Amino acid sequence: MLAYIVRRLLLIVPTLFGIMVLNFVIVQAAPGGPVERMIAEIRGTAVDATARITGGGGEQAPGGGTESRSSSRSGDESASQYRGARGLPPELIKDLERQFGFDKPPLERFTLMIGNYLAFDFGESFFRNQRVVDLVLDKMPVSISLGLWTTLLVYLISIPLGVRKAVRDGSAFDVWTSAVVIVGYAIPGFLFAILLVVLFAGGSFLDWFPLRGLTSANWEQLSWPARIVDYFWHLVLPITAMVIGGFAGLTMLTKNSFLEEINKQYVMTARAKGLTENRVLYGHVFRNAMLIVVAGFPSAFIGILFTGALLIEVIFSLDGLGLLGFEAAINRDYPIMFGTLYFFTLLGLLLNLVGDLMYVAIDPRIDFESREV
């Protein structure tokens, strides 16, 4: 098993490198960038200032228009690669390029970035004046809270429900729970979130739960029992919305896994020997049926943690990693984009390895040593 772990760890290196190269190339080819964004801000400020001076009219100070047009021609050529840069001095454009590191060719920028990332130096945000590590650590409690509790609740609900549906396949219980599962699968989680806000967060009916933040403003002054209650009080609605939208698929996966195992020959043999139904179900079927379900826990957690909470964070005013990544993409904040991509891709690859190890822990008969990576 040790040799398999070593091979998988070595495979992480080219996989991670390939992902970073692909995303770097895509971002370079995409229109817009931090320099363009800063140019737009500068020009936006200039327009506002002009509007204030002229009272919002179209007239300018005597000679102002002609002078600005003539002085901008030399700058237009040097900054022609940036849309909207006309009228800005070329020295300013070069300063912006130097500030954001775009005075270097793409290959050199990528090499420097990977070299820093290998030392877990993710640099500083272009527009937030904070280190990327500090920003991620600041947003991490929200995302971990949503991801961890949602994943645990999804598994605690889906596994018993899926087992029960498999045992009572075709019964009235199976039919009406299947209807609930279909509704949960068909309606996006953010729509449930809006419904919960309307019903329970002061929307149109009740005002039982808060609608902003992970804790109350006076959380520091509360006792520890009161802090715990306040923390979960704020999480009730967002986690409920995420659980409703996430338990359906796992429930059906659990049911189908159990149904497949229940109909196998070894189950019939165990029953023929006189074993009780619970002994057959939990002593023989459970380990085999739960293999694919439990082993998928690490990847399910990483998926819910970093990909499924953006709209929930927006609706419930939770400032987490989903919102941070979205804002970084919109603002072309490359240090945040690539830093979080590198870290969480590495984390995801390691959790995939943990998932394989969980296969072996659940069923020792599985031997990855005999398989090619």
Ranked by mean pLDDT, which of 33-42, 49-58, 73-82, 227-236 comes out on top?
227-236
Q: Strand, coil or helix: what is 33?
A: coil
* CA–CA distance, 246 with 153 (Å, rounded to integer): 10
Tens of pLDDT, residues 72-82: 444 444 444 56
List all residues 6 or more positions away from 321 whose beta carbon is below 8 Å from its beta carbon: 136, 139, 140, 142, 143, 305, 306, 309, 340
Residue 250 vs residue 49, higher pLDDT: 250
Contact (CB, 8 A) for 337 and 329: yes
**336 token code pair:** 């945040």
pLDDT grade, residue 333 (50/70/90)?
A: confident
Least confident of 45-59, 110-124, 153-167, 335-349: 45-59
The pLDDT value given to residue 83? 56
The closest alpha carbon to 38, from 78, 2, 84, belongs to 84
Domains and CATH numbers, the chain: 35-118 (no CATH), 132-370 (1.10.3720.10)
CB 145 within 8 A of CB 237: no
Q: What amino acid is encoded at 269 in this protein?
A: T
Provide the sign of the torsion angle of the four alpha carbons 102, 103, 106, 111, taken in this order.
Answer: negative
User: Using 50, 70 and 90 to split pLDDT, how confident is the model at 69?
Assistant: very low
Nearest to 84 by CA among 28, 30, 38, 40: 40
Structure tokens at 199: 């019903």
Higher pLDDT among residues 311 and 48, named by residue? 311
pLDDT at 18: 93
Structural contact between residues 337 and 328, judged by C-beta atoms closer than 8 angstroms? yes
Contacts of 186 (CB under 8 A, 6+ apart): none
Tens of pLDDT along 238-289?
998 888 877 887 888 888 888 888 878 888 888 888 878 778 887 778 777 7
pLDDT for the residue numbered 21? 93
Tell me the C-alpha to C-alpha distance, in Å, between residue 43 and each of 63, 69, 84, 85, 164.
Answer: 20, 15, 8, 8, 63
For 64-89, what is the mean pLDDT? 48
pLDDT tens, 155-174? Answer: 888 888 988 898 888 889 98
Contacts of 211 (CB under 8 A, 6+ apart): 197, 201, 202, 237, 316, 317
Residues 359 and 296: their CA atoms lie apart, in Å, by 9
* pLDDT value of position 296: 67
pLDDT digits (tens, 9 = 90+) for 113-122: 999 998 888 8
